[in-house]
Chains A and B, each alone.
Chain A
Amino acid sequence: MSAVLKINGAEKTFDDGLPSNLSELLTILKIDTATVVAEIDGKIIERKDFAQTSLNEAQAIELIRFVGGG
């Protein structure tokens, strides 16, 4: 069954159902965990907790990606 997550204000459909946790979501989106800050419903999730953080369709997920340069 497909599922929908709200990521950075836009809805994204997952045909194979919800990713089981934040870590799996980042893998599916091909985002490097070393360079992203993740926020769910306004709360920052630390990198060490990515694999233990489950997801649901009601959440507002913000993924802030960093690229090099400064």
Chain B
Amino acid sequence: MAPQTFFELKNAVVGIAGLGGLGSNVGVALTRLKVGKLILVDFDVIEESNLTRQNYFADQVGQHKVDASLENFRRIDPEANLKGHKTRLTPEKIVEVFKDCHVIAECFDRADQKKMIVETVLTKMKDVVVVSVSGLAGYGRSNEIVTRRISDRLVLVGDTVSGTGPGVPLTAPRVGIAAYHQANAIAELLLNELHIKLARNSK
């Protein structure tokens, strides 16, 4: 029997800005959902320390995160429509590489970079929704990580206060919870709000 998929998602285009603990895991979930197209962006290579929470494997250390994610997601679904960009995102680049996206997942690490992409999407891109994360460091307190709709085009995941710092590491379970909140918010947006637009595009 063919695996059950959401027909509406096949026309969706989702951008993933950053392929660290959030992006590498969000991509797995969206690949399994069979979202039509994913645009993956990161400039970095995998370090051994990333393996504590990011969806990479020991034999991928040293590879570009974009290349390793393309490989990993295609192992889940060889038919997945994926596009990778090895580049550092600036406001100009964000508008350019994500121009066809319905939703963008903000998966950066640094607070100022998170602010930069959210501000750019909300001021420079029409109709695109951004799903961002703030506050996921440490362990425990699973239920303090929440998904909140800030406005029509901004969804914010996290506990809003737990930043990384001395003694507050990023851990696989808590980063994973936030990443899957993010992927679930994207699925909800695409299926509940953007399905009419997606259906129209298919004609």
Instruction: Mark A residues whose CB is within 8 Å of B.
Output: 34-37, 39, 42, 44, 46-47, 62, 64-70
Contact = CB atoms under 8 A, between A and B. Distances in A.
B156 interface: yes
B118 interface: yes
Given A42-B151, A70-B109, A35 B137 contact: no
Given A37-B119, A44-B122, A46-B119, A67 B160 contact: yes
Contacts of B85: none
- Among A36, A46, A64, find the residue whose CB has the most chain B CB atoms closer than 10 A: A64
Contacts, number: 80
Interface residues of B, number: 36
Contacts of A68: 109-111, 114, 137, 163-165
A44 B154 CA distance: 11
B123 A66 contact: no
Interface string B123-144: 1000000001111110000000
B137 A69 contact: yes
Contacts of A70: 18, 20-23, 107-109, 114, 133, 136, 170, 175
B161 interface: yes
B79 interface: no
- Among B112, B115, B151, B175, find the residue whose CB has the most chain A CB atoms closer than 10 A: B115
A45 to B, nearest CB: 9
Contacts of A69: 21, 109, 133, 135-137, 162-164, 170, 175
- Among B20, B22, B111, B132, find the residue whose CB has the most chain A CB atoms closer than 10 A: B111
Given A44-B123, A46-B123, A67 B118 contact: no
B134 to A, nearest CB: 5
B58 interface: no
Given A39-B151, A66-B134, A68-B114, 9 more contacts: A35-B114, A39-B150, A44-B119, A65-B134, A66-B114, A67-B111, A67-B137, A69-B175, A70-B170
B119 A67 contact: no
A70 B160 CA distance: 13
Interface in B6-38: 18, 20-23
Nearest to B137: A69
B135 A64 contact: no
